[in-house]
């Protein structure tokens, strides 16, 4: 019967239960069970409208304006930029090159006397730590390799990490000074340790 499918809400749409005064959906009975004709609570409806508005604004911002806070890659790049500005030394790339200017070497010499001489000898001849004047190296003799050793240390062998003690620039200065000691004759040279390596400088 076509009548059963008519949209009953369009006409006189509800009945009142004579016993409880509840609003019932009209002409809607299954196995003697009636269904209440409740409205959705206003807070629920408003919440729904708000999500719609939110969704539309989100779509427009994302696809229309390509908002930087909605696109992860852009957000990431911006955060990295900000971090770099707040903390310039951490993210600047280091150029692993031996410094040769007199000012850097003088600075390096001072740093060596303060931080390294106790273990490597005042002239770099070696004490607890290895001799820097010979051709033998345990961890390699490139600026990059030495920078790694000085930054991170070799804790189990007693070499201190310096990354939180002196800046990257200072590490490069002291390393350049260390390299300048190669081939000099220390007062009491320590026996060679490590492998004999070509001298790249
Ligand atoms: C507390 C003692 C100590 C101090 C301070 C110290 N070193 Fe060392 N250093 C060592 C020891 C011990 C080793 C040997 C590590 C190993 O056997 O792997 C070493 C190794 C090294 C090496 C690697 C040598 C190689 O043959 O590969 C370099 C480079 C070095 N130190 C540089 C420095 C510099 C530069 C400083 C100062 C900024 C410094 N060290 C301060 C004890 C020290």
Give the mean pLDDT of the chain: 89
Predicted local distance difference test score (pLDDT) of residue 178: 96
Q: Find the Cα–Cα–Cα–Cα dihedral 142, 143, 145, 151, rounded to 10°.
A: 160
- Is residue 197 lining ligand 1, measured as CB closer than 6 Å? no
Model pLDDT, residue 18:
84
Extents of the domains making up the chain: 2-36, 42-88, 102-196
How is 36-92 classified by DSSP, letter by letter?
E-PPPPHHHHHHHHHHHHHHHHHHIIIIIS--TTTSHHHHHHHHHHHHHHH-HHHHS
The pLDDT value given to residue 145: 94
Cβ of residue 130 lying under 6 Å from some atom of ligand 1: yes
pTM: 0.64
Determine if ligand 1 sits within 6 Å of the CB of residue 127: no
Q: Say yes or no to pLDDT of 184 above 70.
A: yes
Q: What percent of the chain has pLDDT over 90?
A: 64
Q: Ligand 1: which residue has its CA nearest to atom 5?
A: 116
State if residue 110 touches ligand 1 by the CB under 6 angstroms criterion.
no
Q: Mention the CATH class of domain 102-196.
A: mainly alpha
């Amino acid at each position: 019967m076509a009548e059963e499918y008519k949209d009953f809400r369009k006409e006189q749409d509800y009945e009142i239960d004579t016993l409880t005064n509840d609003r019932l959906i009209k002409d809607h009975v299954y196995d003697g069970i009636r269904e209440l004709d409740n409205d959705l609570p206003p807070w629920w409806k408003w919440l729904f409208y708000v999500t719609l508005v939110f969704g539309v604004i989100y779509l427009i911002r994302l696809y229309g304006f390509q908002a930087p806070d909605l696109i992860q890659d852009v957000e990431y790049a911006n955060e990295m930029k900000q971090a770099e500005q707040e903390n310039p030394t951490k993210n600047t790339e280091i150029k692993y090159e031996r410094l040769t200017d007199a000012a850097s070497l003088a600075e390096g010499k001072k740093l060596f006397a303060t931080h390294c001489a106790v273990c490597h000898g005042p002239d770099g001849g070696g004490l607890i730590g290895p001799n820097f004047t010979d051709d033998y190296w345990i961890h390699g003799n490139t600026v990059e390799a030495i920078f790694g050793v000085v930054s991170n240390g070799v804790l189990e062998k007693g070499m201190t990490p310096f990354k939180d003690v002196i800046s990257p620039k200072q590490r490069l200065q002291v390393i350049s000074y260390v390299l300048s000691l190669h081939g000099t004759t220390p007062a009491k040279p320590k026996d060679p340790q490590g492998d004999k390596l070509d001298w790249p400088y």
